[in-house]
Copies of this chain bind each other. A is one copy, B any other.
Amino acid sequence: MSERGWIVPIGGAEEKLRNPRILKRFAEVAGGPHARIAVVPTASRMPDTGPRYVKLFRKDLGVAEARTLDFQTRADCEAPELLDFLREATGVFFTGGNQLRLSTTLGGTPVTEIIRQRNREEGLDVAGTSAGASFLSEHMIAYGNEGPTPRADMVSLAPGMGLTEEIVVDQHFAQRDRLGRLLAALAYNPRPIGIGLDEDTAAFIDPEEGLEVVGSGAITIVDPSDMEFSSMDSARPHEPVTVIGVRLHVLAEGAGFDIPSRRARLPAAAG
């Protein structure tokens, strides 16, 4: 494989029992019965997080191999036996938890270097849910406040894993009233687009940067390409920020978005 792998941010709380359509689709993308999936539970503090996904991928979804790579410390990120599996995997899955635990533990280590290089050059597919979704892109929302109106001081960005510079991801989007903080993140610099993921909803981003919605919720795309004005530079802490000229799409399953041209795609049935 010489093309980039898929990048799959998931909004958290994805269905695991009755209709695990997101995890199933990821297993298919990563090779189906031939898939070898590395589960990285570093964001979580709960010891059963990794094994639970491993069981799901192996037993319920029938992939060839799935293993928990339990990077708990920066020293773990040098362990040859863990890195060896990462070099052979066809897919990587980051669990939820705390995205700053991902960036502080994995940032700049061989773990993220291998994943970045193999995603870019060898078609390694990479998914993450909740905190794991936030970590995938270059600019990561580290934390922030709730509410629909963007305010100064509302959101803190940090460097993420850097698989793409084109998007800023937020998750648990509708459930936690996070439009304001995504708008605030884009008001700093309207270069990337914002992707707000509802729970049980995923953005499957293919090697050509086409995005497809999978899951029971919606994806909100905030496209600031034509932003005419942002007052983020002059707003005082906690003051509302004026943002004029943002384009917004709410997309349910079947719809999509072409990131390079910044055009939304209708569901096939509506075509």
Residues of A whose CB lies within 8 Å of any CB of B are 73-75, 98, 100-101, 103-105, 107-108, 112, 138-139, 142, 153, 156-160, 162, 165, 187-192, 224-225, 227-234
Chain B residues near A101 (CB, 8 Å)?
Answer: 233-234
- Pair B139/A159 contact, Cβ less than 8 Å: yes
Are A158 and B158 CB-contacts (below 8 A) given A107-B189, A187-B104, A224-B108?
Answer: no
- Pair B157/A158 contact, Cβ less than 8 Å: yes
- Pair A108/B225 contact, Cβ less than 8 Å: yes
Chain B residues near A228 (CB, 8 Å)?
Answer: 74-75
Chain B residues near A153 (CB, 8 Å)?
Answer: 156
Chain B residues near A159 (CB, 8 Å)?
Answer: 139, 157, 188-189, 191-192
- Pair A103/B188 contact, Cβ less than 8 Å: yes
Give the complex CA separation of A142 and B142 in angstroms: 14
Chain B residues near A142 (CB, 8 Å)?
Answer: 188
Give the complex CA separation of A125 and B207 in angstroms: 34
- Pair B74/A107 contact, Cβ less than 8 Å: no
Identity of the chain B residue whose Cβ is nearest the Cβ of A142 in the assembled complex: B188
- Pair A107/B229 contact, Cβ less than 8 Å: no
Give the complex CA separation of A110 and B98 in angstroms: 36
Chain B residues near A156 (CB, 8 Å)?
Answer: 153, 156-157
Give the complex CA separation of A227 and B228 in angstroms: 41
Give the complex CA separation of A70 and B255 in angstroms: 42
Chain B residues near A227 (CB, 8 Å)?
Answer: 74, 108
Chain B residues near A231 (CB, 8 Å)?
Answer: 104
- Pair A74/B229 contact, Cβ less than 8 Å: yes
Identity of the chain B residue whose Cβ is nearest the Cβ of A99 in the assembled complex: B233
6 pairs of A and B residues whose beta carbons are closest in the complex:
A158-B188, A107-B189, A100-B233, A101-B233, A108-B191, A103-B189
